[in-house]
Structures are given as C-alpha cells and as structure tokens.
Structure 1
C-alpha cells in the first residue's frame, strides 16, 4: 500500500502536474494540501477519471486539504480539529481507507514570528497533538500525513543558521514536533533514512531547486500498530523540476501487506 502526501500549491493551477504524477506513481492514497479552491471548484471529475475517489475540505484562495484513494472507498471521519469551533481554516481532514485511518493536515506557516500568526500556529499544533494522542489511544492503524511546516532537525534544512528565527524552525515549533513524535509516532522518512539529507520543498526563488537548497517539511507519522509494516519511504523530487509545478515534491511511504493468519487445525481425536 503506497500512501503519499503532496502540497500541490493550487489544485486547479497544478492539475496537469498532479494528474501526470498520479499516472506515473500510482499511489493508493494521496493527501493533498493547499488546494486554494472553494469546495465547488475542486476538480472531482478529472481526479475521478484518473481512477481516484476523493473527499475534500476547500477554502477560497487559501489552505484546503483532500484525500484521494485509488479504486477504493473513503469513509470520512473528521474534517476539522476539535478544540476550537471558531477556527474556520480548512486544514484537516480524516478518513478510513483500506483498513487504515488517514489524517491529512496542513499546519499553519506561522510567519512572521513572533506575532499573532505564530501564536495561532502553536495553538493549532497543540490541538493537533491532542487529537493525535486520542488517535493513538484507539490502537488503530493511523497515518498522519501532510505539510507540517516544521523542520525537525538541522538535517532537515540546507543552512540551519539562516532559519533560526523562522516560524518553521524556531525552538518552540521543533519542541512541539518532538513531543508529538514522542507520543509513540514513527517519522517514516527518518526511520528508514536516519542520516540522509532529504528535502521535500524547494523555494521558487534563487534557483533553490537547482542548488538543492531545500527543506524537509512534509512528513508521514505512523502509529505503533502500523509502523512495523513500513517497507519503503521516499520523495519524488523529480516532480519539483516539472514545468508549472508546486514548490513541494510528493513524499511517500510503502506499507507491506498484513500477513494472513494461518489457520491451525485441531488435532484429530483418536477413534476407539
């Protein structure tokens, strides 16, 4: 089972890129962020023609998240985080698909920091962490995938010294991410590539992609009941080099199938 997360940076403006990648990579489940489209403008028909069902939570011009499933039904379980009924941002959606609970998130950027946007980011992050703890308590197989807007360590940013005051790298944000993972989640890419510089985002400015001046801010976290199935993880970085593409690249994991339980036969009773 291949699960991917991809910040498309405008689902309609990047639709050609998205459809090309879906055809080439054939992921089973995809979490999309930054749709930048109201609900009625989501390209359901085009995505359906590509073989995917979809649920989405859109918002005009900003934010927006969606989950796609190839040849499978999606059973939506949530489309916003608990804890703040006045929060109108479209940043979270959750569904069960193929026996796995998928949470798709777009965590706030938070810049400039300090300031109101940074405060909102921290509040949202704490709400997300609380919900993640509740999901862990269920014991279900869960994957939390999306654009976290967090570079967890120095290994996740091309020049750490230049990002010390940025909302994606401030100590408060990295500490919140650390505490989230410490609940019992597995950071899939870091689990399989503990010492590699792997980036998922390259800015449009200053030839960042050409210089490989990137950031790792797109993450997939696995609950303990599904982490043992992790077989592969990577980034389709070549997609970042396509024409009219997003500044993010699709990030993915592959999960091994659940082993089938062998049926054991009771010993035959002796016939007297």
Structure 2
C-alpha cells in the first residue's frame, strides 16, 4: 500500500497536480491538508474517475482536510471527537487492507503563528487533544497511521539552520514536546526508519527564494503504530513537486506499507 500526505495549499488551484501525483505514484491512500474549499465544492467526481473514494471536511478559504482512497472506509470520523465547531483540521477513516484493518488519521495541526500568542496557545491545546485521540485509537485499533502537516520540525536536523530557527515557531521546545508526546504513546516516524539524504525538508516558504536555497523545514510526517513498523518498506519526500509552476509550498511524503517480504 502506497500512502501519502500532502498539504496542497488549495485543492482548487492544484487539482490537476494532485490527480497526476496519484497516477504517477500509484498512490492507494492520500491525505490532503489545506484544501481550502467548502464541502459542496469538493471535486469527488474527479477522484472517482480514477477509482478513488473520497472523504472530506471542508472550510472556506482556510484549513480543510480530505482522504482519497482506493479502499472503502468502514468508519469515518471528523474533527477532534466530532466537535463540528472546531476548525476543520482532522478526518479519519478505517480501511481493510492486505495487512488488516488500519485506522488512518489525517491531521492539519495549527501553525501557532508566533510564540506566546493566542494562536500558539491554541496549537498546544490542540496537540493535547490530539494526543488523547491517538491514545484512544491505539487502544481500539491493531494498526494506526497518523499523517499530515504537523507544523513542527521535531529535531534540529529537520531545520535548514537550527541556530537561526532556535526557539522560533515550528521549532520551540514546547512544540517539540507536544510532538514527542505523540511518539511516546507508541508511534514511530516512518521517515526516520531509513537512511535519508541530508537536509531533507517538506516545506519551504514562498519568500526569499527559500526552495532554491533549500531553506526548509521537515514538518509533514507519517507516524506509524509499532505494529506497522516492520511493514514499512520505504518513506521519502518527493520534493520535485515543489519545483512545479504554481506549486504548493509543501512537498508530499510517501510511505510504502506492505507485508510482502520481497518489496
């Protein structure tokens, strides 16, 4: 199973890029963030034409998450504990795969904007609620994947310049503790299961020629329950899409999950 996460920064703008990505990479499950469209505008017919089912939670102009999958969802949940008033940042599906039932949780974690701001406080509280959700899902499911845009660079290796970025938004010790709390519940960072190229990032600001200068952050992650660790064959960032004309500021992260010993 090829599973991926991608903050597309407007699905309306980048629909063709997403459709091409699905086909070219033989993706089975794709989690999208920042779709930025209301539910009635979601292009489910475009995905259906390629053989995908769609599950989405939209919001005009901001946020929005979706999962497109070759597998039918047997259980779909929206937001943290079904809070419909919450910002549209989380959707989960349960699918039956060749490995067994897997709960897939797509997250778009708050950015936080600035240390000590109200939005930063909201971010930390949101992570606390996410940790509660993950803890419960690990108890209920044999397999769990929590993937998306976390807006946290977990370690100094995940930042283009750790000294310049020290204790800034995305890298503060409080944000990193919130991320590590998820890991400590029983998850692993799929990307770090494998030897990776140095200076591997998934997000580059549109400003200051950040992509060309590789001034990036690794803030998009695929976290797996321990039960899936042995089944993860590869995990990579496809930064080629960041070089497209009118790209998202994020690149997709792709993991291969398989019980085939020869893959």
Query: Is 1:74 aligned with 2:73?
Result: yes
**1:108 aligned to 2:107?**
no
- SS of residue in 2 equivalent to 1:55: strand
Name the TM-score, length of structure 1 as normaliser: 0.90
1:171 aligns with 2:173: yes
- 2:10 counterpart residue number: 10
Instruction: Report the Cα distance in structure 1 between the residues aligned to 2:56 and 2:173, rounded to whole angstroms.
Output: 32
In 1, the alpha carbon distance for the partners of 2:84 and 2:129 equals 13
CA contact (8 A) 2:103 2:141 kept: no
Q: How far 1:127 moved relative to its partner? A: 0.3
Residues 148-163 of structure 1 aligned to structure 2 (within 5 Å): 148-163=150-165
Measured at CA, do residues 196 and 47 of structure 1 come closer, stay the same or move farther in structure 2, by a change above 3 Å? same
1:264 maps to none
Q: Which residue of 1 aligns with 2:192?
A: 190
Shift of 1:167: 2.3
Q: 1:244 to 1:196 in 2, by over 3 A?
A: same
Q: Larger deviation: 158-167 or 243-252?
A: 158-167
Q: CA deviation at 1:19?
A: 1.4
Check 1:139–1:258 CA distance in 2 against 1; reply closer, same or farther (3 A cut).
farther
**Distance in 2 separating the partners of 1:108 and 1:189:** 21
Q: Which runs of 5+ in 1 are unaligned?
A: 260-272
Between 143-152 and 49-58, the greater mean CA deviation after superposition = 49-58
**Structure-2 residue corresponding to 1:32:** 32
Q: Distance in 2 between matches of 1:76 and 1:58?
A: 18
Q: TM-score, normalised by structure 2?
A: 0.93
Q: Which residue of 2 aligns with 1:270?
A: none
Residues 23-62 of structure 1: matches in 2 within 5 Å?
23-62=23-62
Deviations, residues 175-230 of structure 1 (Å, cap 9, x unaligned): 11112101111100012137843211111111111111111000011012212111
- In the alignment, is residue 89 of structure 1 matched against residue 87 of structure 2? yes
Question: Cα RMSD over matched residues?
Answer: 1.7
Correspondence for 1:257: 259
Equivalent position of 1:243 in the other structure: 245
CA deviation after TM superposition for structure 1 residue 258, in Å: 6.4
Q: Is the 8 A contact 1:139 1:225 kept in 2?
A: no
Deviates more, 1:212-221 or 1:13-22: 13-22
Aligned partner of residue 77 in structure 1, secondary structure: strand
Partner secondary structure for residue 54 of structure 1: strand
Please give the alpha-carbon distance, in whole angstroms, between the structure 1 residues aligned to 2:228 and 2:167: 35
Larger Rg: 1
Counterpart contact for 1:91–1:107, Cα < 8 Å: yes
| Structure 2: runs of 5+ lacking an equivalent | none
Contact conserved, 1:56 with 1:67, CA < 8 A, in 2? yes
Evaluate the alpha carbon distance shift between residue 104 and residue 247 of structure 1 in structure 2; reply closer, same or farther with a 3 A threshold. Answer: same
Whether the aligned pair in 1 keeps the contact of 2:36 and 2:59 (CA below 8 Å) is yes
C-alpha spacing 1:86/1:8, structure 2 compared with 1 (3 Å): closer
